[in-house]
Amino acid sequence: MTVPEEMATTRSGPTKARILAAASQLLLEQGTTSLSVRAIAQQAGVSTMGIYSHFDGKQGVFDALYREGFERLARALERALKIPDPREAARLGTQLYLELAQDYESHYRLMFGERAGRFEPSETARADALRAFELLVQLMAKLMPVRNSGATHLCHAVAFWAQLHGYVSLQQQMLPHLPAQQDWDKQVLRTMDDMIERLAQGDVPGAQR
C-alpha cells in the first residue's frame, strides 16, 4: 500500500525521522510510561495525527524503537566479532552489551520484556532481534572448540546471554533494593570472564550429554 522510498524525498521522510528521534529522546529521558502519542507529536512539532500518518500509531513507534535498539546491539556485536582473538572478542562484546544496556536503559527494557501497554514486536522487528542473537552465537562459536556442533554453540550462547541479561535485569530493577553491592560492574565482568574462559577451554561438564 505505502511506498516509503518515494515519500522519502518529499517531506514525510524527514518528519518520520524527526518523530522517531523525538520518541527515542523522550524514551531515554522519561521512560516508557511517560511516552504518550501526544507527547511524541508535540516533541516532534507534529500534530497528533502525524503519528498515525507516518507510523502505525503507538505500536509502530514502539516497533521502530525496538528495532533501533536491536540494530544498535547488532552493530556492537559486529564490532566485537572483528577482533581476531576469540576471548578478547567475547570480552568486548560483553562490555559493549553492558554499555548499551546502561546508556539506553529504556530501549533495553522495551527490547526485553516490559511490553509497555500491549506492545508486541512485529515480524520484521523480531527478525532484527534474531539477527542480533545470531551474531552472539557466532561470538560464542568463535570461542569454542571447532568440533562442537551448532546446537552446542546455540546452547551456550543462550546460557551466556541469560547470565548477562540476568545481571542487567537485576541491576536495573533490584539493585537499589539489595544490600550494598560495591563493584557491581566488576563482578559482572569477572563472572562473564570466567564463563568465557570455561567455554574457551571446553570445560563444560554435562553440557552436551
Partner DNA sequence: GCCATGATATAACAGTGTTATGATCTGTCA
Partner DNA sequence: TGACAGATCATAACACTGTTATATCATGGC
For a copy of itself, the binding residues (CB under 8 A) are: 33, 109, 112-115, 117-118, 121, 126, 129-130, 133, 154-155, 158-159, 161-167, 169-170, 172-174, 177-179, 181, 187, 190-191, 193-194, 197, 204-207
Residue 34 per-residue DSSP state: T
The sign of the CA dihedral 124, 126, 130, 136 is: positive
Would you say 155 and 208 are in contact if contact means Cβ atoms under 8 Å apart? yes
Supply 73's cell numbers: 546491539
State which residue, 12 or 105, has the beta carbon closest to a copy of itself. Answer: 105
Stretch that binds DNA, among 54-62, 66-74, 174-182, 186-194 (CB under 7 A): 54-62
What does the per-residue mask of binding to DNA show for 59-98, with x meaning CB under 7 A?
A: x---------------------------------------
Question: Could you say whether residue 39 binds DNA (CB under 7 A)?
Answer: yes
Question: Burial code of 15-30, b = ≥16 C-beta within 10 A, e = fewer?
Answer: bbebbbebbbebbeee
Answer with the entry of a copy of itself, DNA, none that 181 interacts with (C-beta below 5 to 8 A by kind).
a copy of itself
Q: CA angle, corner 105, sides to 158 and 191, nearest 5?
A: 45
Stretch that binds DNA, among 56-64, 106-114, 148-156, 197-205 (CB under 7 A): 56-64
Cβ burial of 151 (10 Å; 0-12, 13-18, 19+) is exposed
Distance CA(84)–CA(130), nearest Å, equals: 24
Supply 80's cell numbers: 566485537
Q: Which of 117, 145, 166, 202 binds DNA (CB under 7 A)?
A: 117
CB of 136 to a copy of itself, least distance (A): 11
State which residue, 84 or 205, has the beta carbon closest to a copy of itself. Answer: 205
Contacting positions for DNA (CB under 7 A): 1-3, 7-12, 15, 35-39, 46-50, 52-54, 57-59, 117
